[in-house]
Structure 1
Amino acid sequence: MVSAVFHSPLDTSGAVPTTAPQPARASAPVAAAASAPAVASEPRMLKKRDFRAFWMRVLPPLAGFGLLVLVWELVAMKSTTGFPSPLATWQQALTVFSDPFYSKGPNDQGVGWNVLSSLQRVALGFGLAAAVGIPAGFAIGRFEFLSRMFNPLISLLRPVSPLAWLPIGLLVFKGANPAAIWTIFICSIWPMVINTAVGVQRVPSDYMNVAKVLNLSEWKIFTRILFPAVLPYMLTGVRLAVGTAWLVIVAAEMLTGGVGIGFWVWDEWNNLNVANIIIAIFVIGIVGLVLEFALIKLATAFTFEEVKS
């Protein structure tokens, strides 16, 4: 097979000399040496890109926090009412968080107990809202009669301020704690109802036509078609409802009293302890950020690619 392509070395008539391929062999190391720097430069370029991406992720948040601290320091320097500086607030925060779970009576407890009490109220109010709002959203989105029936009511009640519902709760439930839970319930139910209903209405009509052809029951339509398709919208409503509930509880606890992060803010204001108020603001923001991040991760895990885009 080799002789069919190359001339035999014994053939002297027009034979190609055996020394002809030698330069190609000699040039192979040169070519390899020439290509070696290009291969070696790829990790260096990747390192530079990774290093630049790292700083682009770290520097902007640090610059934002630095700007906040700078403005805060300028306000403290210009203030004539004893507004605490960032350093004084940090020192007070070390004192507050050195024992966050102390208890010296119902109106004197650590910040940890106040946060846990607020989270407990949020969990109860939000859980009741989810138990009512998600099924109601499925029903409103599934049946046109219910949609036409409840859409005007939702449009009327949804813009009402959360604190406007608090006196109704105090009148009906005769207690501050159930009134706060009621306020969370009525304010966090709307995002779940609306997003779930919109998700049901956006299910492709082909799916429902197939269900009619197969003569599926309502339970099978719900479990096999509606629930998987509506789940991303439903989780978005849940995320918005949790953010609303955490906002409402702080305002409700300021008015109802008891143990809670909102009551702690109001109590520290009565004591003219502005540093603790600023600490409470950061605590409220951090807890809300953690709740938001956890629900975003949960929603992303159950969201299809076309819904994410």
Structure 2
Amino acid sequence: MRLFRYSQSILLAMLGFLGFVILWWLLTYFLVKELPQPPQVFSNLFELLKKPFYDAGPNDKGIGWQIYYSLRRVLTGFFIGSLIAIPLGFLIGMSGKLRAMFNPIIQILRPVSPLAWFPIGLAVFQASDKAAVFSIAITSLWATLLNTAYGASSVPEDYKNVAKVFGFSTLRYLRYVVVPYTLPFMLTGLKISIGIAWMVIVAAEMLAGGTGIGFYIWDSWNALNLNNVISAILLIGVVGFILDYFFSYLQRRVQI
């Protein structure tokens, strides 16, 4: 039964993708003839993936290198943001005073556009690569912080009472009550944060230049190579899907 449901989900996903390709072909054939059709893009994508890690100089690298540079920036910024968000989330969630203190700041800074942080990072670090990582760290931490804080603040009273009965110290209470209860909320925040980070990097690299999938798209557009642009967009989607699936897997493991 489980195998049947799994096969059915794969079949439905394939049908959805087929429908997307058909719609894409119809739009480019009848309405938006300036854009390349699916056969052209998939042929171009195949050529790009044949030698993904070729290196012909600073401005001529394979698509695999571009994705690698982007992922490295994303994971670095995501890691830094998580190091800030998780402890702060626990502190805010467990303390009403800290929540009242930090909530206005969070609500002011959270809606700021990711690209607005890039010039700040550039001024501080004097390097576009570090500015991109800074932008990712700032914009990806909010979802993790808020979800962690919500989980830590919503521990049921029964759990708290049991901890008091057994005389748990603060550290034991954190380890055996707050952290296990908050973990699913925290993973949800991390899943949202990695998705935000992956979206931000494309725009940040268009500003930063040099390397990365965002720069690759912008460079291809300047060369009027729409096949490369759309191929890169598809690869961005695939990598984003893999990252999302990984955190969904972690969520399922925690729930089990």
Q: Same fold (TM over 0.5)?
A: yes
2:69 is the alignment partner of 1:117: yes
Identity score, percent: 43
Equivalent position to 1:74, from 20, 23, 26: 26
In the alignment, is residue 137 of structure 1 matched against residue 97 of structure 2? no
> Can you give the 5+ residue segments of structure 1 that lack an aligned partner in the other structure?
1-48, 305-309
Q: Name the structure, 1 or 2, with higher relative contact order (CA <8 Å, separation 6+).
A: 2
Q: How far apart in 1 are the matches of 2:187 and 2:115? A: 26
For residues 52 and 209 of structure 1, what CA distance do their matches in structure 2 show? Answer: 45
- Which residue of structure 2 aligns with residue 186 of structure 1? 138
Which residue of structure 2 aligns with residue 251 of structure 1?
203
DSSP 3-state at the match of 2:255: coil
1:167 Cα deviation after fit = 1.1
Quick one: which amino acid aligns to residue 133 of structure 2? I
Task: Output the CA distance in 2 between the equivalents of 1:151 and 1:240.
Answer: 20
Q: What count of residue pairs does the alignment treat as equivalent?
A: 256
Q: Distance in 2 between matches of 1:50 and 1:141?
A: 38
Match 2:245 to one of 293, 301, 307: 293
> Equivalent residues in 2 for 1:1-309 (5 A)?
56-78=8-30, 82-303=34-255
| Greater Cα shift, 207-216 or 286-295 | 207-216
**Unaligned runs of at least 5 residues, structure 2:** none
**Distance in 2 separating the partners of 1:112 and 1:301:** 30
CA distance in 2, matches of 1:173, 1:125: 14
Report the structure number with the largest CA radius of gyration.
1
TM-superposition CA deviations, 1:161-203 (whole Å, max 9, x none): 1111111111111110110000000011101110111101111
Offset of residue 83 of structure 1:
2.1
| Cα deviation 1:124-145 (Å, max 9, x = unaligned) | 1011111111000000001111
Alpha-carbon spacing, 1:200–1:156, altered in 2? closer, same or farther (3 Å): same
Amino acid at match of 2:103: N
Superposition deviation, residue 269 in structure 1: 0.4
Query: In the alignment, residue 152 of structure 2 is paired with which amino acid?
Result: V
Q: TM-score, normalised by structure 2?
A: 0.93
Residue in structure 2 matched with residue 43 of structure 1 by the alignment: none
Deviation of the 1:205 alpha carbon: 1.4
With normalisation by structure 1, the TM-score equals 0.78
Distance 1:200 1:177 in 2: 34
User: Secondary structure, in 3 states, of the residue corresponding to 1:302?
Assistant: helix
Q: Which amino acid aligns with 1:284?
A: I
Bigger share in helix: 2
RMSD: 2.0
